[in-house]
């Protein structure tokens, strides 16, 4: 979307919350660990890594284990507000800049039939909180407070804000350039 060429490189980092770790700290730590793991294999490249979770009433909803777990998450989110935390880490050489973007999302009331049909699409199975706002899951959302791209999983605003910490900036039509 921003015209920046990229290559996907899985980090292989275990995604497990530490005891007493806050949601904000958790996603920021995971993003940093992912960036560090990929940066080690790609010295000199700009590494962009992130992690996103959904928090409902203090409970962290990551990717569902299976379709039944996805349906349970969606039923819990029905007609309620939840918070999305999206951690971002940019690495270039040994320099790492991190940030966390937060958005509040409210779902429509979801009937069992809608939940089942949505789960059958397969879309929720690899998404934090069991929904993808950028796909079919957009029909589940009543309102958003905050950045849409935070809910998608990579805050463009955070990305652009962190670039100067690495001596870079985003220029429309040019991409990421040195300052």
Place of tokens 């350039």: 177
Active site residue: 51, 66, 69, 126, which one?
51
User: Active-site residue 51, yes or no?
Assistant: yes
Distance CA 138, CA 78 (A): 13
Q: Which residues pair with 149 in a beta bridge?
A: none
Q: Which residues pair with 145 in a beta bridge?
A: 104
CB 88 within 8 A of CB 48: yes
CB 42 within 8 A of CB 6: no
Q: Which residues pair with 91 in a beta bridge?
A: 47, 96
133's tokens: 């706002």
Distance CA 171, CA 156 (A): 13
Q: Is 11 exposed, middle or buried (0-12, 13-18, 19+ CB in 10 A)?
A: buried
Which positions are catalytic?
51
């Amino acid at each position: 979307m921003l015209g920046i060429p990229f290559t996907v490189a899985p980090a292989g980092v275990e995604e497990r919350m530490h005891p007493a770790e806050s949601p904000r700290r958790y996603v920021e730590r995971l993003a940093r660990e992912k960036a560090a793991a990929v940066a080690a294999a790609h010295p000199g490249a700009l590494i962009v890594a992130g992690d996103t979770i959904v928090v409902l009433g203090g409970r962290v909803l990551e990717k569902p284990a299976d379709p039944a777990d996805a349906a349970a998450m969606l039923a819990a989110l029905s007609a309620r507000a939840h918070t999305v935390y999206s951690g971002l880490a940019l690495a270039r050489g040994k320099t790492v800049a991190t940030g966390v973007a937060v958005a509040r999302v409210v779902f429509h009331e979801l009937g069992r039939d809608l939940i089942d049909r949505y789960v059958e699409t397969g879309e929720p199975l690899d998404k934090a909180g069991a929904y993808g706002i950028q796909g079919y899951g957009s029909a589940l959302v009543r309102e958003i407070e905050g950045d849409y791209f935070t809910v998608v999983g990579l805050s463009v605003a955070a990305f652009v804000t962190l670039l100067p910490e690495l001596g870079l900036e985003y220029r429309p039509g040019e991409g990421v350039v040195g300052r």
